[in-house]
Amino acid sequence: MNMKGIKIFSPATVANLSCGFDVIGLALEIPVDEIFLYKSNNPGIRINKIIHGTSFSLPNDPKKNVVFVALQSLLKKYQQQQKFDREKKIGFEIELIKNIHPGSGIGSSAASAAGIVFGANILLGKPFSTMQLIRFAMEGERLASGTAHADNVAPAIMGGVTLVRSYKPLDITRLHTPNELWISIIHPQIEIKTSDAREILKQKILMTDAIRQWGNIGALVAGLYQENYELISRSLEDVIVEPIRAMLIPAFYELKIRCKEIGALGGGISGSGPSVFMLSKGNHTAKAVTQVMNHVYSPLKVDYKTYTSPINKQGVKWDEIF
Ligand code: HSE
């Protein structure tokens, strides 16, 4: 194979999906981060170029970039495994096009981390399993938010809707994605740090809330498999995290009410916010829901972006560069 490098398209993701805090997530078709990754025999990891919008900045020190940290953890493991070939010189050159706004709540750091380890695995001849790739990418999440959660990196790498059954040991499974499931997103351009949005959460919850929440999670999973949109709709309820985080997002409850009135199945905070997501059955309803999001936000003095996307069943995509 004469491949020089690869171009990776790594998707935005929605973590939690209302009732599944830290365990459920899904991948979107848009927006995606684009990464050009080249293997070289010059040891080390070099981020040669980062292209991004003007409305945000990224750390100047490349070692504080999630792509660096995630790739470094993969490379370290790779070199440990090359017992008989320790002298082999391997390095990577990276160009990153950030289309997913950091701090948006749609898995910006996860897209970069997932994309880079996925790409490196291909260039190295696929020595690692999907679960190992998720672990490497989780190191990027640890850097970005202080916790190595997997509910964004797992759907970015595996595609579709994923469920983290357990973190110790890491046990992640892909769920069924109903064909007509679409998603509308509004990203209010205010900053909410994941670490702050986690700090305000209670460490103990009521048994009555736990019972309601695990009923919803179980029913959401059943609804996805049965392609039962009414059951999905009834299950999109979070009695534990949303009531606390909702106050961070302007017009959150108005958004939910108005989107459901127009036909959304339901929704909530995307990851730790500030983005809000709504699920719909079909493209037509999803577009109408996105329109309503625009109507709710246009009178507010808050900049925002909206997206309408089907569920991305593949996850990270890539093209060869010869
Ligand atoms: N599950 C995480 C949280 C996702 O809600 O804090 C962060 O993107």
247: Cβ–Cβ under 8 A, 6 or more apart, which residues? none
Number of domains in the chain: 2
Domain boundary among 154, 175, 196: 175
Degrees to nearest 5, angle at CA 65 with 59 and 69: 155
If asked whether residues 225 and 168 sit together in one domain, one would say no
> What pLDDT tens digit does each residue of the chain (322 aa) get?
556 899 999 999 999 999 999 999 999 999 999 999 999 988 889 998 888 776 666 666 777 889 999 999 999 999 888 765 666 788 999 999 999 999 899 999 999 999 999 999 999 999 999 999 999 999 999 988 888 899 999 999 999 999 999 999 999 999 999 999 999 999 999 989 888 999 999 999 999 999 999 999 999 999 999 999 999 999 999 999 999 999 999 999 999 999 999 999 999 999 999 999 999 999 999 999 999 999 999 999 899 999 999 999 999 999 988 7
- Do 29 and 71 sit in the same domain of this protein? yes
Rounded distance, CA 297 to CA 202, Å? 29
Position in ligand 1 atom list of the atom nearest CA 107: 8
**Tokens found for residue 289:** 């829901």
Q: Are 191 and 255 part of one and the same domain? A: yes
Ligand 1 proximal residues by C-beta, below 6 Å: 15-16, 21-22, 149, 151-152, 194, 197-198, 271-272
CATH code of 89's domain: 3.30.230.10
Q: Which residues of 37-53 are buried (b: 16+ CB within 10 A; e: fewer)?
A: bbbeeeeebebeebebe
Is the same domain home to 224 and 107? no
Based on the domain organization, do 198 and 135 belong to the same domain?
A: no
CA of 81 to the centre of ligand 1 (A): 32
Nearest residue to 302 via CA among 272, 270, 267, 276: 276
Q: What gap in Å lies between CA 148 and CA 138, rounded to an integer?
A: 5
Task: Identify the DSSP state of 312.
Answer: -
pLDDT at residue 84, as a whole number: 59
Evaluate whether residue 315 is within a structural domain: no
Same domain, 28 and 167: yes
Tokens, residue 139: 């190191």
Q: Which of 175, 193, 224 is the last residue of a domain?
A: 175
| CA-CA-CA-CA torsion sign (305, 158, 34, 53) | positive
Residue 277, domain CATH: 3.30.70.890
Hey, which residues are catalytic here?
A: 141, 194
CA 235 – CA 219 distance, rounded (Å)? 6
22 and 166 fall within a common domain: yes
Same domain, 189 and 171: no
Radius of gyration of the chain (CA): 20
- pTM, 2 dp: 0.94
For residues 16 and 148, state if they share a domain. Answer: yes
Distance between CA atoms of residues 275 and 273, nearest Å: 5
Are 122 and 242 part of one and the same domain? no
Tell which of 144, 175, 206 closes a domain. Answer: 175
- Specify the ligand 1 atom closest to the Cα of 21: 1
Protein residue with least CA distance to atom 8, ligand 1? 271
Domain co-membership, 217 together with 284: yes
Is 322 within a domain? no
Is residue 74 a part of any domain in this protein?
Answer: yes
Question: Token pair for residue 307?
Answer: 């997206």
Instruction: Say if 112 falls within a structural domain.
Output: yes
Residue 319 lies in a domain: no
- Residue 86: the pLDDT is 60
Phi, psi of 187 (to 5 degrees): -115, 95
The answer to whether position 187 is within a domain reads: yes
| Full residue range of the structural domain in which residue 105 is found | 5-175
Residue 250 lies in a domain: yes
140 and 253 in a single domain? The answer is no
